[in-house]
Amino acid sequence: MKFILLATLACAATAFSQSVKSNIPYVENGHARHVLDIYAPANAKNLPVVFWIHGGGWAQGDKTDVKLKPQWFMDKGFVFVSTNYRLLPEVDMGTLTRDVAKAFGWMEKHIAEYGGDPKRVLVGGHSAGAQLAALICTDDRYLKAEGAAFDCLIGCVPVDGDTYDVPAIIETAETRLRVHHLPPRVNGHREKFGGTPEKHVDFSAVTHVAKGKGIPPFLILHVAAHPDTSAQAARLGNALKEAGVPTTLFGAKDTNHVKLNDDLGLPDDPATKALDSFVAGPLKK
């Protein structure tokens, strides 16, 4: 009984040691998905910020699917923001990407009210969210449209994305189907990213990597045994390195696309250890 009481008190203490604000609108009179959540340590003030983008194939998913990440980042001294955005097929890829940028713009203007430092933001995301994170951290047009700039970014952590080079994944997937005499996919990447080669190129983070833009350091996490996400991680990593952007690739073993993301924050998780080393740099600034 004594152990149960102590455990209960410990849980209560943890609950009171943080602040969670849910469903904060980032667009006035906007869509139901124009909302974000903010997790902040108790008495947070001028802490670096994580801006997290959920996955789900751009057609599903929710900001609440963050598992251990908010608590892990708060324990490291961050404020954690997780955003929703409108989804396919209700809107197109450009619109949902601009939704993410709008959420970022709102966060930058208001995060100081929740204890965050708008000049120190790490962007991360899983799967579809990895593509969106990498894109807004390489194509500065999205953040500039919301009054933000790369000089507030301290890092980018895309997790197991397969669309940093959209034309490459389209060619890979369609070749695989063709040589095995399988029917083409319905609403695959070709359709999701707009159906034209120009749009496919424009939605690719690798297209926008260039020297001197202020692109932040990258930690690219991927499943080592997955051929597509490993190839895409290498493709993006090589482009960033050629542009002089500090870049670390980490291929996680004995895991899968979902588990890699869900396990971030576990004490003995190898990808979490890589993340720990990566965020240590920005925390020293």
The string of pLDDT tens digits covering residues 94-151 is 999 999 999 999 999 999 999 999 999 999 999 999 999 999 999 999 999 999 999 9
pLDDT band for position 282 (cuts 50, 70, 90): low
Is 51's pLDDT higher than 60? yes
Of residues 46, 100, 47, the one with CA closest to residue 70: 47
Cα gap 245→219, rounded to integer Å: 11
Chain mean pLDDT for the chain: 93
Cα gap 231→259, rounded to integer Å: 19
pLDDT in the model for residue 12? 38
Is 277's pLDDT higher than 70? yes
Is 284's pLDDT higher than 70? no
What mean pLDDT comes out for the span 221-245? Answer: 98
What mean pLDDT comes out for the span 227-238? Answer: 98
pLDDT in the model for residue 96? 98
**CATH numbers and ranges of domains, the chain:** 18-283 (3.40.50.1820)
What mean pLDDT comes out for the span 142-166? Answer: 97
Structure tokens at 42: 């108790």
Is 4's pLDDT higher than 70? no
Report CA torsion sign: 156, 158, 164, 168.
positive
DSSP structural state of residue 42: T
pLDDT band for position 157 (cuts 50, 70, 90): very high
pLDDT band for position 8 (cuts 50, 70, 90): very low
pLDDT in the model for residue 285? 57
pLDDT in the model for residue 48? 97
Is 3's pLDDT higher than 90? no
Q: Which amino acid is at 101?
A: A
pLDDT band for position 16 (cuts 50, 70, 90): very low
pLDDT in tens, 168-204: 999 999 999 999 999 988 889 999 999 899 999 999 9
Strand 79-83 relative to strand 35-41, pairing: antiparallel
Is 167's pLDDT higher than 90? yes
pLDDT in the model for residue 186? 84
- 78 three-class SS: coil
pLDDT band for position 18 (cuts 50, 70, 90): confident
Helix ranges (DSSP H) in 124-268: 128-136, 141-145, 166-179, 189-192, 197-202, 227-242, 257-262
Is the pTM above the cut of 0.75? yes
Percent of the chain surpassing pLDDT 70:
93
pLDDT in the model for residue 46? 97
